[in-house]
């Protein structure tokens, strides 16, 4: 299980959106990145604001590039704001350090990629993504 | 029919990928942007190179922002290369002026968004996208 | 053989430099990127000019992101200069489309990463890298 | 001893990685820059996250360009965050102001370059690099 397939990425997105509807969340947007931080698939629900790709991407991209999920990045940003600001400098301003950036790990802990979820509160975004990742048999590191 | 729905964007992507398989093309990547040039949905087939989001996006983004499909942009680039280079300056280098950037129009000609297809030759990319757009009842301006 | 190890990346670099000395080339600089286009290892020989990391990286990065080795990119740049210029826009100006950007493939053709070699003529750069890639049992797509 | 050689840069990297294994640190990534702030050599251990080149580079680059090691930059960031933010403006966002950016000095105090280490805590990164720099007979200013 070294790589994510498009089929699996698509399922993670679909299940995140379903979970969002079950939790009665605002319209969600969900991206799946591969282990190199490159976009595999994305969907933005009707009614979401137009800039949601960039936010979903920023959550997932930071997780992959740093090997740290959104909640750990947020902790670091709260402890040492200038560090996360500097990290954003070296990654071209592409990192959004809050929950909703979830590392996808296999059963051995290897990182297969990341999911980025945005649209509701950061914690709800993360919860919806977690349920979807676990539904496809992967470990959600959020 | 003023707006694209996620459902329709998803169908355009799925049908483009099916068309690519029927035409025996290389793995394709397909993005759908809304009328504001913002990402609605994207999928990259397994086996495609990692940078395909950026290329698909560049084709569709230029189409929406300029109101000109990829083939018209290519003609302009061949006639007046410095113009398309300057266009890229004002749009932050986000425009790829070749076929495969297709405007989505309704029956009255209004632009609803654009599709960007990449992976095979530019002409094959455009042909696969055209078939998908027409299959959902829209006009493909390529 | 799904991934490159640091050990193998290091060997490719060392053998490229040895090959450069055998061919009596100017001082070489060699980078190895993984399949996501991220830097695994780099060395710049004494006497090389200071900007060689960026050039080696640009050759290898373009190869990975586009799935096209340097010689194919050069051909495209000669046929359709505005296309390669636009590609550089979407990849942040990080692409150097000349020989010396070599895709690393396994025996089944899967891309494991890329090598970027710079310092002498582009063709000599590519030849030195090719010998090194083949010495570690991989296929050099240059 | 006015300049670093590739041989010495390579030894610093190798000894930093060995030190990391002795200290049981997470996988490390190590860059060596010359006195002009340009990349001489880099290695990323297997298992490190893909964005580690940028972070290692940011630590070492700031040290060379400012003539201040990472700990002094961190102190400045904590005392006067807007100053380090402004520094990042003029250096294109390339500076990571935390420990792990180590100036390489000769016995007379002249700066020969810098090492950047990342992967574990900033303090552990700095300790591993310090041991390596001293092992090659240079002074580590961290």
**Which residue of D lies nearest to A112 if distances are taken between CA atoms?**
D49
**Which residue of C lies nearest to D51 if distances are taken between CA atoms?**
C38
Q: Among D9, D41, D50, whose Cβ lies nearest the Cβ of C36? A: D50
Tell me if B50 and A42 make a contact (CB, 8 A cut-off).
Answer: no
Q: How far is A106 from A97, CA to CA, in rounded Å?
A: 23
Q: How far is C127 from D11, CA to CA, in rounded Å?
A: 28
Q: Is the dihedral of CA A115, A119, A121, A127 positive or negative?
A: negative
pLDDT surpassing 70 at residue D141: yes
Question: pLDDT for A5-60, tens place per residue?
Answer: 999 999 999 999 999 999 999 999 999 999 999 999 999 999 999 999 999 999 99
Question: pLDDT for D73-90, tens place per residue?
Answer: 999 999 999 999 999 999
Q: ipTM value, please give it.
A: 0.96
> At a CB cut-off of 8 Å and minimum separation 6, what does D44 contact?
C6, C38, C39, C40, C41, D27, D29, D52, D53
> Radius of gyration (Cα) for chain A, nearest Å?
14
Tell me the residue ranges of DSSP E strands in B61-125: 101-105, 111-118
Question: pLDDT for C84-110, tens place per residue?
Answer: 999 999 999 999 999 999 999 999 999
**The pLDDT value given to residue A3:** 78
Average pLDDT, chain A: 96
pLDDT surpassing 50 at residue B24: yes
Torsion angle in degrees (nearest 10) through CA of D128, D130, D133, D138: -170
Phi and psi of B24, rounded to 5°? 60, 40
Mutate to test the interface with D, among A37, A38, A77, A89 (most CBs of D within 10 A): A89
> Radius of gyration (Cα) for chain C, nearest Å?
14
**Tokens linked to A60:** 């997932």
Question: pLDDT for C29-46, tens place per residue?
Answer: 999 999 999 999 999 999
Examine chains D and C and say if they touch (3+ CB pairs below 8 A): yes
Buried/exposed code over A55-71 (b: 16+ C-beta within 10 A; e: otherwise):
bbbbbbbbbbbbbbbbb
In C, which residues are within 8 Å of A5 by CB distance? none
Question: pLDDT for A69-103, tens place per residue?
Answer: 999 999 999 999 999 999 999 999 999 999 999 99
Examine chains B and C and say if they touch (3+ CB pairs below 8 A): yes
In C, which residues are within 8 Å of A37 by CB distance? 36, 38
Q: Among C5, C40, C45, whose Cβ lies nearest the Cβ of D6? A: C45
Average pLDDT, chain C: 96
CB atoms within 10 A of CB C57: 25
The mean pLDDT value for D114-123 works out to 98
Q: Among A2, A34, A92, whose Cβ lies nearest the Cβ of C36? A: A34
> At a CB cut-off of 8 Å and minimum separation 6, what does A129 contact?
A12, A16, A19, A30, A100, A102, A115, A116, A117, A140, A142
The mean pLDDT value for B100-110 works out to 97
Residue C59, SS3? Answer: helix
Tell me if C111 and B84 make a contact (CB, 8 A cut-off).
Answer: no
DSSP classification of residue B101:
E
Q: Which CATH number fits domain D6-141: 3.30.465.10, 3.30.450.150, 3.20.20.140, 3.30.460.80?
A: 3.30.450.150
**Domain residues of chain D, as ranges?**
6-141
Q: Among A36, A39, A43, whose Cβ lies nearest the Cβ of B10? A: A43
In A, which residues are within 8 Å of C39 by CB distance? none
Q: Among B34, B36, B42, whose Cβ lies nearest the Cβ of A39? A: B42
Neighbours of chain C (3+ CB pairs under 8 A): A, B, D
Q: How far is C89 from C69, CA to CA, in rounded Å?
A: 19
**Tokens linked to D92:** 């294109």
**Which residue of D lies nearest to C44 if distances are taken between CA atoms?**
D40
**The pLDDT value given to residue A2:** 56
pLDDT surpassing 80 at residue D94: yes
Question: Nearest CA to D44 among D131, D141, D116?
Answer: D116
Mutate to test the interface with D, among A62, A69, A82 (most CBs of D within 10 A): A82
> At a CB cut-off of 8 Å and minimum separation 6, what does D26 contact?
D20, D47, D48, D119, D120
pLDDT surpassing 50 at residue D5: yes
Query: B57 with B31: CB under 8 angstroms?
Result: yes
Report which secondary-structure segment, H or E, holds C57: helix C52-66
pLDDT surpassing 60 at residue D1: no
End-to-end CA distance of chain A: 20
Give the model's confidence band at C2: pLDDT under 50 very low, under 70 low, under 90 confident, else very high.
low
**The pLDDT value given to residue C3:** 79
In C, which residues are within 8 Å of B118 by CB distance? none
- 3-state SS, one letter per residue, for chain D: CCCCCHHHHHHHHHHHHHHHHHCCCCCCEEEEEECCCCEEEEEECCCCCCCHHHHHHHHHHHHHHHCCCHHHHHHHHHHCHHHHHHHHHHCCCCCCCCCCEEEEECCCCCEEEEEEEECCCHHHHHHHHHHHHHHCCCEEEC
Phi and psi of D53, rounded to 5°? -60, -50
In B, which residues are within 8 Å of C68 by CB distance? 49
Q: How far is D53 from D33, CA to CA, in rounded Å?
A: 12
Side-chain-side CA neighbours of C130 within 13 Å: the count stands at 14
Give the model's confidence band at B3: pLDDT under 50 very low, under 70 low, under 90 confident, else very high.
confident
In D, which residues are within 8 Å of A68 by CB distance? 49
In C, which residues are within 8 Å of A3 by CB distance? 2
Q: How far is C131 from C123, CA to CA, in rounded Å?
A: 13
pLDDT surpassing 60 at residue A105: yes
Q: Among A66, A86, A93, whose Cβ lies nearest the Cβ of D97? A: A86
CB atoms within 10 A of CB A79: 9
Q: How far is CA B26 from CA B11, B118, C85, in A?
A: 20, 9, 23
In A, which residues are within 8 Å of C2 by CB distance? 2-3
DSSP classification of residue C118:
E
In the beta sheet, which residues pair with residue D118?
A: D29
Torsion angle in degrees (nearest 10) through CA of C74, C76, C79, C80: -120
Q: What is the largest CA-CA distance in chain C?
A: 39
> At a CB cut-off of 8 Å and minimum separation 6, what does A52 contact?
A29, A44, A118, A119
**The pLDDT value given to residue B1:** 44
């Amino acid at each position: 299980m070294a790589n994510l397939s498009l089929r699996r990425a698509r399922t993670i997105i679909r299940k995140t959106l379903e979970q969002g509807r079950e939790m009665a969340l605002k319209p969600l947007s969900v991206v799946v990145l591969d282990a190199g931080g490159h976009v595999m698939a994305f969907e933005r629900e009707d009614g979401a604001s137009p800039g949601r790709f960039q936010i979903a991407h920023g959550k997932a991209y930071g997780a992959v590039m740093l090997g740290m999920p959104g909640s750990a990045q947020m902790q670091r940003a709260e402890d040492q704001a200038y560090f996360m600001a500097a990290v954003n400098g070296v990654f071209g301003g592409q990192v959004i350090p809050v929950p909703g950036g979830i590392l996808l790990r296999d059963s051995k802990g290897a990182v297969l990629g990341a999911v980025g979820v945005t649209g509701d509160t950061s914690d709800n975004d993360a919860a919806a993504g977690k349920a979807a990742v676990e539904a496809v048999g992967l470990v959600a590191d959020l």
